[in-house]
Chain A
Amino acid sequence: MRKPDNINRKIILGRIYETQQLSAAVVFLVPVLIAVVMLFIIPVLQVVGYSFTSFNMNTGKGSWVGLSNFKYLIEDELFWKSLRNTVCFAGLKLVFDTLLALVIALMLDTRLPLRKYLRSSFFAPVVVPMVASSLIWIWFFDPGVGPFNQILNFLGLPSLQWLYSEKTSLASILLFSIWKGVGYNVMLFLTGLQNIPDSYLEAAKVDGATSWQSLIHIKLPLLRPIMNFVVMIGIINTFKVFAEINVMTPKGGPLYSTALAVNYIYEQAFTRGKMGRGCAAAICLFIIIFILTQIQARMNASKTVDYD
């Protein structure tokens, strides 16, 4: 027999809800919704609106200019250069960050002396503030008194100009960026590896699988969901890289060689005050990120395995 209770209920769209829970939900969700509306929905709508205007930060005025901001971007060599730099930087960073992290995590997942120390040392740069660690690396890259050239010379190799040459500037920042970020992925992969039940690997061993075979047929397929996450977050994060570039090469480096999309947006909108144009560039960047994450999600939707 169902006990009678004194809880008030309400029916909304054919489902029964408790009124007390409904009123609590309103109280809890109003601040969250205000934040989402103020910080995401309104700004996203506005960024689209501003991109069709000539809004200027210094005058505070702007008028409807149709597509001319986008036309400007298409014709602007620097915009294309910043996009090429971004794709190049993001692509290389994704590949290195993922593969390197995977290899490190696989090695950390074996029996090692000092294992805890090793793990921490790869993770430490992740938590450290970006700007402060950039300062260290600015010195490393100094062509005159930097330790990197000293090491190169010691090995009998020629000095490099690092941040001060068009050819090596972006690669230098990439090197810093990998040092700074690889540990994040290492942690994710390592946890994934440790979640693989030992029985799977033992069973494979009994069946005569080599460690290479168990890597290819057991570990990698089971790491797939984490791999998806790593790549997804990697795309979003590498396309918004800004701080290290802005600190290490404030003016976009030699011949604009380190300027990424975000630097271009920042320069247009806040240095030159052309906010309409900055918004147009921001939309282009957002569309690129959106398309890439969608492709990535589609590609992986069908491939995920579940051995349970």
Chain B
Amino acid sequence: MKKIKSLKKINWAAFIILMIGSLAMIFPFAWMILSSFKTVADVYTYPPKWIPSSWKLDNYAKVFDMIPFGRYYLNSIYTSLMQTLLQLALSICGAYAIVFLDFPGRRKLVTLIRSTMFVPMVVTLVPLYLIVSKLKGVDTYAGIILPQVFSAFTIFLLVSFFTSIPKDLCDSAKLDGCGCYRILWNVVLPNAKASISTAALFAFLGHWKSYTWPLIITNKDKYRTLPIGMKYLVQESSSEYQVMMAAAVMAIVPVLIVFVLFEKQLVKSITLTGMKS
């Protein structure tokens, strides 16, 4: 009898096409890293060089001379961290109430939260700016952070995580006399620890690249975040590409490292929000 083929044949045609595609996807990163070491002469010779002539860190030093890069970096870390923490706290509250509590208007609340996904920030940009500036929030960290803490995506991501926690666990905690707060703190959170850190990572990466809001709400260098600072670097550096690449390396490489370490979790959070809607 013929043996049953358990494995499909390797699809070489697809492999070659995908290989070419993936080289195209990776090429910009390779170019960025190589070019961040180039000298001005390397950039402007013809035909252009692909490999830098030396491996000095001059361009990296120059980024810090041209713009207060360290300040921007710290601002970005601080605002992204705070946004992530507040967003998680808010989303845990919302998701816990939606999944585990019984109250009138539950469905209406879900619809309300879902409908905020259809209002992009650009629509509410002007009123938000005016509200924040009336509250003296222009050029403050609170002004950057608070308007960005609500995310329907994070709430629904946590909802889908929370629904996978067995209801029995909560019921038996309840029989033992646990109140709602203790159930959240002692049962739900410990069981969703891994999922919540996934959501945190996802939210952090989103905040790390946030652009439009920090752009309009900051005028002073002191409060600018990294993406805004880099936009001004483009104007300041007048085509000193090698310096721009050094700045890009410093903004991108940490993210790529996080990506390589946590790819599985990131993919999971993207697909979960996609499947559940």
Contact B123 A286 (CB under 8 A): yes
The residue among B9, B119, B277 with the most chain A CB atoms within 10 A of its own CB is: B119
Set of chain A residues within 8 Å of B22, measured between Cβ atoms: 117-118, 121-122
B97 interfacial contact with A, CB 8 Å: yes
Distance of A188 Cα from B97 Cα, bound (Å): 28
Smallest CB separation, B9 vs chain A (Å): 7
A17 interfacial contact with B, CB 8 Å: yes
Contact B21 A129 (CB under 8 A): no
Distance of A232 Cα from B46 Cα, bound (Å): 46
Partner pick for A229 among B19, B126, B277, CB 8 A cutoff? B277
Considering the complex, which residues of chain B in the window 1-39 have a beta carbon less than 8 Å from any beta carbon of chain A?
7-11, 14-15, 17-19, 21-22, 24-26, 28-29, 31-32, 35
Smallest CB separation, A288 vs chain B (Å): 11
B55 interfacial contact with A, CB 8 Å: no
Contact A139 B128 (CB under 8 A): no
Distance of A265 Cα from B8 Cα, bound (Å): 53
Set of chain B residues within 8 Å of A233, measured between Cβ atoms: 274
Contact B103 A293 (CB under 8 A): no
The residue among A110, A122, A230, A266 with the most chain B CB atoms within 10 A of its own CB is: A110
Distance of A293 Cα from B251 Cα, bound (Å): 34
Contact A124 B127 (CB under 8 A): no
Contact B11 A262 (CB under 8 A): no
Partner pick for A107 among B11, B149, B241, CB 8 A cutoff? B11
Contact A246 B11 (CB under 8 A): no
Partner pick for B93 among A29, A36, A131, A250, CB 8 A cutoff? A29
Contact B11 A110 (CB under 8 A): yes
Task: Produce 1/0 per residue, A107-151, CB < 8 A to B.
Answer: 110111110011011111101111111011111101001010010
Nearest-neighbor residue (CB-CB) of B149 within chain A: A35
Set of chain A residues within 8 Å of B248, measured between Cβ atoms: 132-133, 135-136
Q: How many B residues, CB 8 Å from partner?
A: 98
Partner pick for B35 among A139, A279, A283, CB 8 A cutoff? A139
Set of chain A residues within 8 Å of B129, measured between Cβ atoms: 270
Distance of A118 Cα from B150 Cα, bound (Å): 34
Partner pick for A278 among B10, B126, B266, CB 8 A cutoff? B126
Contact A142 B239 (CB under 8 A): yes
Contact A43 B124 (CB under 8 A): yes
Distance of A225 Cα from B117 Cα, bound (Å): 18
Nearest-neighbor residue (CB-CB) of A132 within chain B: B251
Set of chain B residues within 8 Å of A247, measured between Cβ atoms: 230-231, 234
Contact B93 A31 (CB under 8 A): yes
Set of chain B residues within 8 Å of A145, measured between Cβ atoms: 43-44, 46, 48, 241
Contact A104 B93 (CB under 8 A): no
Nearest-neighbor residue (CB-CB) of B109 within chain A: A29
Considering the complex, which residues of chain A in the window 127-177 have a beta carbon less than 8 Å from any beta carbon of chain B?
127-133, 135-140, 142, 145, 147, 150
Considering the complex, which residues of chain A in the window 33-92 have a beta carbon less than 8 Å from any beta carbon of chain B?
35-36, 38-40, 42-44, 46-47, 50
The residue among B50, B255, B274 with the most chain A CB atoms within 10 A of its own CB is: B274
Distance of A297 Cα from B112 Cα, bound (Å): 18
Distance of A65 Cα from B35 Cα, bound (Å): 54
Contact A46 B116 (CB under 8 A): no
Smallest CB separation, A105 vs chain B (Å): 11
Smallest CB separation, A35 vs chain B (Å): 4
Set of chain B residues within 8 Å of A191, measured between Cβ atoms: 267, 271, 274-275
Contact B103 A25 (CB under 8 A): yes
Contact B124 A40 (CB under 8 A): yes
Set of chain B residues within 8 Å of A13, measured between Cβ atoms: 104
Contact B128 A36 (CB under 8 A): no
The residue among B48, B127, B216 with the most chain A CB atoms within 10 A of its own CB is: B127
Contact A125 B94 (CB under 8 A): no
A184 interfacial contact with B, CB 8 Å: yes
Contact B44 A187 (CB under 8 A): no
Set of chain A residues within 8 Å of B234, measured between Cβ atoms: 135, 138, 247
Smallest CB separation, A193 vs chain B (Å): 11
Smallest CB separation, A212 vs chain B (Å): 14
**Chain A binder among B160-168, B192-200, B204-212:** B204-212
Distance of A188 Cα from B273 Cα, bound (Å): 10
The residue among B46, B89, B252 with the most chain A CB atoms within 10 A of its own CB is: B252
Smallest CB separation, B63 vs chain A (Å): 11
Smallest CB separation, A167 vs chain B (Å): 22
Q: Which 5 A-B pairs have the closest CB atoms?
A: A43-B124, A24-B180, A46-B127, A121-B22, A129-B209
Q: A47-B127, A107-B11 are in contact. List 20 more A-B contacts (CB 8 A).
A: A22-B103, A36-B112, A39-B116, A46-B127, A118-B22, A120-B259, A125-B25, A125-B28, A132-B227, A139-B245, A145-B46, A147-B48, A236-B118, A236-B120, A240-B120, A243-B212, A246-B215, A266-B125, A282-B125, A285-B122
